[in-house]
Amino acid sequence: MNRSAFVAFIHTFFSEKKEIASLVLHSTNSTPTTGPTHTLILTRHGDSIWNGKHVGCKETFTGWTDVPLSPLGEKEAIRTGEILADLTREVEIDALFTSTLSRAKMTAHYVWWAYNENLEEQYRREKHYQYYNRPGNMPQQNSMQYQGPAQWLADYRLNERHYGSLQGLVKVEAERGDFGHSADEVYKWRRSWHAKPPILDDDDPRRLEERRRFGPICGLENIPRGESLNCVAKNRIRPFVEEKLTPLLEEAARRKPGDEGGTALIVAHANSLRALIGVICKADQNETAAAFSKLEAMKIPTASPLVLQFRLVEKQFTPVDSIGEGSNPLPVYPIQYLF
């Protein structure tokens, strides 16, 4: 996809996505060309019943509360799968990662179902053309084989940031002080990298339910009681990237030609994705840089795929700040210029 086509795609697809309307593309910064270029397709889960658009439900602090997708969220996830099929049909997706929360896992399932349904339709159209335009060229089979990622993994470290005692509270009610917090405090808890919301008490019913539900999955010691974004990045996302994600992508790259790297689809949450972007782009390591303030202000809409490419240079993450036209045909979002 050339640059003009990429810009046209962004204008069309995101024309109604006000949260990222200020996306700016730059491709002038140079990036070391050592090593394969890995691609991350980052997708927030579809609309959940607590995201504020579901009939009868208000926008609510969710965190680790395991709420389902809304009907709108299911449709958003299906649309995401269709978009990915259109853009990445020639790309091998080596792994699909989700959190252990239902809204992310269900989004991933809908995305991949729609992905294959779209490819199936394309396959049938191509075979139909071949049959009617090339006499005697009867298709060998009526449908394509199912395509899926080599690995499909759920990891609790991709869970949403834990909102502590805010979980289950309606956001507008919390902001107007109904629960004893000021609007400024609530804003900092939502956007700041370091601000941590009030933690859950050990005997809080919400805490007891989390221990029952997630203890067998991640261990009681790994269930937070409240987190800042910095906590998410340091305690969960960085270990996930270093221990699970990068080794898998590096192994995938060794099976591919040239500098083609691995590709992973990550279906997670607004704040765990923000933390991941901060880790890969090292924005969290320089809090005076413009990228850091943009990271704090970043809003990621539901079920709208973003793409981040990076290289591992001398064991350090190096984001690729350009629109690629090489071996990997995916459009690239230079993360430090997203907002």
- Which residues are designated catalytic? 45, 160
Length of the chain measured in residues: 339
Sheet containing strand 95-98, strands side by side:
151-154, 95-98, 260-268, 37-44, 306-313, 316-319
Instruction: Compute the Cα dihedral for 76, 77, 81, 84 and give only its sign.
Output: positive
Helix (H, G, I), strand (E, B) or coil at 310: strand
E-strand spans in 10-64?
37-44
DSSP per-residue codes, 93-145: --EEEE-SSHHHHHHHHHHHHHHHHHHHHHHHHHHHHHHHHSTT---S-SSPP
Which strand (E) or helix (H) includes residue 267?
strand 260-268
Phi and psi at residue 267, to the nearest 5°: -110, 110
> Hey, which residues does 154 pair with through a beta bridge?
98
Helix (H) or strand (E) holding 263: strand 260-268
Residue 69, helix vs strand vs coil: strand
φ, ψ dihedrals at 260, nearest 5°: -70, 125
